[in-house]
Amino acid sequence: MIKVNKGFKRNEIDGVVFYTIPAFKNTGKVKHLFSTRIGGASSGPYSSLNLSLTRYDDKEDVYENFRRICHVTNINCDDMVFSNQVHSDGIKIVNEIDKGKNFGKSDIKDADALMTNISGIPIVTFHADCTPLYFLDPVRNVIALAHAGWRGTVKEIGPKTVETMVNAFGSDKKDILAAIGPAIGVCCYEVGKDVVNEVSKLNVNLDEVLLDKGNGKWMLNLEMTNYYELVNCGIKDENITLSGLCTSCNADEFYSYRRDKGKTGSMAAFMELI
26 domain residue, yes or no: yes
20 domain residue, yes or no: yes
Domain holding 60, by residue range, is: 5-184+227-273
Confidence of residue 139 (pLDDT cuts 50, 70, 90): very high
Partners of 272 in the beta sheet? 31
Report residue 201: phi and psi, to 5°: -80, -15
Q: Mean pLDDT of all residues in the chain?
A: 96
Q: Rounded to the nearest 10 degrees, how much is the dihedral formed by the CA atoms of 23, 26, 28, 34?
A: 50
For residue 14, is it left (φ>0), alpha (ψ between -120 and 50) or beta?
A: left
Domain count, the chain: 1
Burial environment of residue 25 by CB neighbours within 10 A (0 to 12, 13 to 18, 19 or more): middle
Q: Using CA atoms, how far apart are residues 250 and 234, in angstroms rounded to an integer?
A: 32
The CATH number that applies at residue 27 is: 3.60.140.10
Report residue 204: phi and psi, to 5°: -130, 165
Tens of pLDDT, residue by residue over 222-264, are: 999 999 999 999 999 999 999 999 999 999 999 999 999 999 9
Q: What is the mean pLDDT of residues 152-178?
A: 98
127 domain residue, yes or no: yes
> How do strand 91-93 and strand 113-116 relate by DSSP bridges?
parallel
123 domain residue, yes or no: yes
12 has pLDDT over 80: yes
212 has pLDDT over 90: yes
Task: Using the Cα atoms of residue 26, residue 30, residue 35 and residue 41 in order, give the sign of their dihedral.
Answer: positive
4 has pLDDT over 90: no
Q: What is the mean pLDDT of residues 180-196?
A: 98
265 domain residue, yes or no: yes
Q: Using CA atoms, how far apart are residues 82 and 242, in angstroms rounded to an integer?
A: 24
Structure confidence at residue 146 (pLDDT): 98
196 domain residue, yes or no: no
Residue type, 146: A
Structure confidence at residue 55 (pLDDT): 86
Tens of pLDDT, residue by residue over 60-80, are: 999 999 999 999 999 999 999
Q: Using CA atoms, how far apart are residues 125 and 269, in angstroms rounded to an integer?
A: 5
220 domain residue, yes or no: no
Structure confidence at residue 104 (pLDDT): 85
Q: Using CA atoms, how far apart are residues 272 and 34, in angstroms rounded to an integer?
A: 13
Tens of pLDDT, residue by residue over 17-64, are: 999 999 999 999 999 999 999 999 999 999 999 999 888 999 999 999
Enter the DSSP assignment of 8: P
- Cβ distance 263 to 21 under 8 Å? no
Structure confidence at residue 2 (pLDDT): 58
Confidence of residue 3 (pLDDT cuts 50, 70, 90): low
Q: Taking Cα atoms as reference points, which of 123, 179, 112, 180 lies closest to residue 147?
A: 112
Partners of 63 in the beta sheet? none
Structure confidence at residue 115 (pLDDT): 99
Q: What percent of the chain stands above pLDDT 90?
A: 95
Structure confidence at residue 54 (pLDDT): 87
Q: Taking Cα atoms as reference points, which of 120, 121, 97 lies closest to residue 108?
A: 97
Give pTM, 2 decimals: 0.97
135 domain residue, yes or no: yes
Non-local (6+) Cβ contacts of 54 within 8 A are: none
198 has pLDDT over 70: yes
